[in-house]
Amino acid sequence: MGDSTGAAASFGGGWIFEESLRPFCESVSEFTGYDFDDLDWQAVENALPGTDVEKPGGWYDYPLSGRVPMTLLVAADPGSSVVFVRLTGELDDRTRTQIEAALYIFSMYSMR
């Protein structure tokens, strides 16, 4: 059971509840070996109001430089309670599966 590495491309792509964004970021960071802390969260949280999923260039990208280097992309959906998320990077099968599960959970349940 080996890990195959995918191409460096966009992965994920979906929405999660806005209040679940920090737990999602922390979960993805745990899977990729990145220590996501309060300063990381402040950067993402402060950038989010300036994003818009409907506008070209409306996404904010934030590097997660862990064991599995990735970039988190987030965009607000103005007028709703959701945030769109994508990830780019080279994912092994295990990390991809973990992130798919996190996307599913955070789109089904809100963390309050």
Q: Which of 80, 94, 72 is nearest to 12 (CA)?
A: 72
pLDDT at 2: 35
pLDDT at 112: 65
Domain ranges of the chain: 15-108
Residues of the chain with pLDDT under 70: 1-12, 111-112
Dump pLDDT digits (tens) for 10-31. 666 789 999 999 999 999 999 9
Q: Residue 68 to residues 64, 65, 71, 89, 97: CA-CA distances in angstroms?
A: 8, 7, 10, 8, 14
pLDDT at 31: 93
